[in-house]
Chains A and B, each alone.
Chain A
Amino acid sequence: MTERNHHPLLEIKDLDVAYRIRGSVRRVLRGVSLRVESGSILGVVGESGSGKTTLALAILRYLPKEGFIQAGEIWFDEHPIHALPLEQMRTIWGKEIAFVPQDPSSSLNPSIKIGEQVAEMLHLHPDDARARVIQLFKTVQLADPEHVANSYPHQLSGGMQQRVLIAMALNLKPKLLVLDEPTSNLDTTTQAAVLKLICDLIRDRGMAAIYVTHNLRLVRQVCDRVAILYAGELLEEGPTQQIFDQPNHPYTRGLLDSIPRLGENKSHMRLRSLEGRIPLSGEPTLGCNYRSRCHLSIEICEQHPALFELSGSRVSRCHRWDEIDRGEIDNRKSSAESIPILRTSKKRLPILGIEDIRVDFPLQRTFEEFIGRKQPRKVQAVGGVKFEILKGQTLGLVGESGSGKTTLARVIVGLQDTAGGTMRFLSSALPSRLNGRSMETLRQLQMVFQNTDEALNPYQTVEEILRRPLQRMLGKNRTAAKRDVLFLLDSVQLSAEYAKRLPSQLSGGERQRVAIARAFASHPTLLIADEPVSSLDASVQAAVLNLLNDMQEKDGTAALFISHDLAVVGYLADVIAVIYRGQLMEVAEAHELFKPPYHPYTEALLSAIPKIEYKNGHAKIQLKGEIPSPLEKLEGCPFHTRCPHRLGEICDQEQPPWRTLASGKRYFCHIDEDGLQKLSQDNYFRDYAELKE
């Protein structure tokens, strides 16, 4: 960082950003220095509270009202961004630096047509502007650009909205793109396509980009260099490949290790989770910010570490970087944690069986239908799903948004009426309506929800939340229940002092622990978990997955684990079911699912997941278009509109058969085993049983 003769496109020097909160000043970024060269992509990785979004907004000089640049400089292409008057930033925004936001649906004005929102940036005659917009929409591969231009934002899918925002960002040919988690709200297959588009465009046009994300997989695939932020500080920075292969800082190592590899399963090893929590931003710290969570921390770590320079243009903020670099100490936690979990019970009873479950959502009638007194039309949300869960077994249900996986969970817990089909729970029929179920059934069937903010009553303390199921379902008296609350807290690794707290005083991970404790309070036989970790940070995810696993193991609880993340499902599940547009596509044992032959949809999903172990380029299989709207009635196979291996008319017209392979894998496709074997392009199975040193 000493050479002065060469100026990178963007250079950040010792940047401090602070927020004024009720009179006090909190520093959320401390001494951050970064450079981005033209034509390269820098990944900025951090968990929530790391300051990564603040960094992105500081580069744009678009901090919230309370935020300000306290010290340091930001140089962009000869412009001193840190010192420019705000009005002058308007000549840089859009034209020199453009921004692609995280939440496409709220980032477009709901009451202005899409085409106008893009065209208003161009100071052109309306006809010329229109032509430019259409051209631009073609560049970002929007099908039917004329139609998109005439639509309002709510008429487009999330993937299309994000393409529009990318088109906006590219409109005035900026030199630098700031990308703030641009794909995190999109489905796996859409995410793969949008990401490929962004990268191709950046490379083609020789732009530079800052890619802010918590998703390490994407960073590995996309970025040239990566910076790791923690509690407002840069902990490590360097070329992506080197950092991923040989992370120096224990935090980087911990983050990388906490992510389940595709195909890794709980039967191989526990996930290596990071203990503790990130210091709140702005909390003054004296020593190393990470030391309370670090297994290598020694006396010197009480002092604040500098950024040490490693070979290969890397930096690391760890006092023990040298020992780690030379291999004298291991920054990987090698505790007893990697002992494999053994699952013993051989003879397993079926706990839950569902047969031909169908769910319809009635549509509002049109005026003609209303006058004609016709029955309202229906949209099929779930169409004839059948599966069985055995005692102690975890069934993973994978699907993209709108595939019906949450609807199915709601059916099983009795919150959703069915249009047909039967359910059996513990060898007796399970009524679909909640008020037809006994207290004993409720006790045995519990649920953990996705959204940790909304699933707990904000006005009840943790103790009240946990005491209720104990008193109501297990019939304990108040004193006994109060005592058991402490056991429960202990079982989810929360100390007794948490009993008095309100949900708002807990972090996302802690709230989810409370939710899990609540679900397990009544010793259920079956747990329904709907995306329980997808709103959590990577390091917290691992700890919660381990916890779920331990709790299940202890009670022999069976689980239906729902997620869109195939790697997470692959880790936790014994059996995986893949669902698409309300129909199961494939059911297989977890490890079999990752071995060929693949169902065409499963293969597309597998290929869309970026690998963390190596750079595998972009997804080999790019599905065309998006999941058809549920309003569209499809004959034949539900996947035929996007299937890369569509045989012909048979797929559009005839329901495919269920086929069973020798491995036990069952799949729903017109193509037979030999055919699929030939078509499967890659092998996504890696034998982690052998890898676990």
Chain B
Amino acid sequence: MLRYVLRRLGFLVLTLILTSMIIFAMTQLLPGDTARVILGREAGEGALEALREELGLNDPLPLQYGNWLIHFFTGDWGVSFSTRSAILPLLMGRLRNSLMLTVVILFMSIPFAILLGLSAGLREGKLLDNLISVGSLSVVGLPEFVSGLVLIQIFAFGLGWFPANSSIRIGSSFLEALPMLILPALTATLVLLAYVARLTRAGVIEELKQPYVRTADLKGLPRRTVILKHVLRNALTPTITVIAISFGWMISGLIVVENVFNYPGLGRMLLFAIERRDLPLLQGVTMLTVVGFALANLAADLIYATLTPRIRLS
């Protein structure tokens, strides 16, 4: 197992190095002169040259990349062009918000999705299965800005249970933020629900066909025990892996949801950076995203290995 973990960690480092190169290269390929962007259109050639020298823009590319990476690891992620503030603390605040939202999404969607998937899988081809499939698919087909607006209409303007605007204050505690998190989390849940439920359903149907289920039944175990102890354990392995992977998406991929609800998470920051052509900020968000995805993948691999004795013990 130790070997397995180390191998995975090795892959993680490799992935990060590779993606950091891509991110670095991309910013190099973008048109425009960084010095001119900073100093503005009226700056003289001398000032531009001095700034280029100062920023190291005249160094050979590998050296620039090395410097950039060292700064990145020492926590100096630079200053945003548009807000003129240090990027790292800015992003850490946004990361915290995104994590809070993720936790709420997970608690809302996973138990429900697994329950739906299990109920559908146990009644394959029957009415309930079809209802769940059709229902969850029709929900997942809705774009988030539509389902988000519908939810706002119902729960904010209609019933008045939750606020329509989720622009929480910087540094507000989880409990303070919680009411504002419900509607965006619900919107994301609708996307995740169908996916996780279908995966669970497929896992349950697949496992039910395995001869060990017959063995468990013919041992005379109660059906409950057969399903919960024997079937579900094996059926959930792929589901849990996918949930771990989608963690990365929840942290930084909720661009539409965060915008609909004005929620200050990483997704909105990404959009903001793109709109303002704020390169250092874009680099920072992207790197953070990549790290998030890579860690989520690592977690998925490790969970999978832990749940599968054949891998864990070899």
Contacts and interface: CB of A to CB of B under 8 A. Distances in A.
Interface of A: 60, 62, 87, 90-95, 98-99, 101, 103, 106-112, 120-121, 152, 154-155, 165, 168, 171-172, 366-367, 370
Contacts of B2: 367
Nearest to B124: A65
Given A94-B219, A367-B6, A101 B214 contact: yes
Given A120-B229, A366-B3, A108 B222 contact: no
A106 B230 contact: no
15 contacts: A60-B218, A62-B217, A90-B220, A90-B223, A91-B220, A93-B220, A106-B210, A108-B212, A109-B233, A111-B233, A112-B229, A121-B221, A152-B309, A152-B313, A367-B2
Contacts of A109: 212, 215-216, 230, 233-234
Contact of A120 (B214, B225, B308, B309): B225
Contact of A152 (B222, B230, B310): B310
B215 A165 contact: yes
Closest 9 pairs between A and B when the two form their complex, measured CB to CB: A94-B220, A93-B220, A152-B309, A99-B218, A107-B211, A109-B212, A106-B211, A367-B3, A94-B219
Contact of B211 (A91, A98, A103, A121): A103
Contacts of A93: 217-220
Contacts of B18: none
A121 B219 contact: yes
A168 B219 contact: yes
Interface string B169-192: 000000000000000000000000
A110 B212 contact: yes
B307 interface: yes
Interface residues of B, number: 26
Contacts of B6: 367
Contacts of A108: 212, 215
A477 B95 CA distance: 69
A90 to B, nearest CB: 5
A257 B66 CA distance: 80
A366 B6 CA distance: 12
A614 B216 CA distance: 38
Contact of B309 (A90, A95, A107, A111): A111
User: Which of A60, A93, A171 gathers the greatest number of chain B CB atoms within 10 Å?
Assistant: A93
Given A62-B217, A165-B215, 5 more contacts: A93-B220, A103-B211, A108-B215, A152-B310, A154-B309
A109 to B, nearest CB: 5
A488 B307 CA distance: 52
**Which of B3, B216, B218, B225 has the largest count of A CB atoms less than 10 A from its CB?**
B218
A639 to B, nearest CB: 28
Nearest to B213: A109
Interface in B217-268: 217-223, 225, 229-230, 233-234
A111 B307 contact: yes
A616 to B, nearest CB: 33
B216 A90 contact: no
A133 to B, nearest CB: 13
Given A110-B309, A120-B229, A152-B310, A98 B212 contact: no
A569 to B, nearest CB: 31
Nearest to B312: A152
B230 A95 contact: no
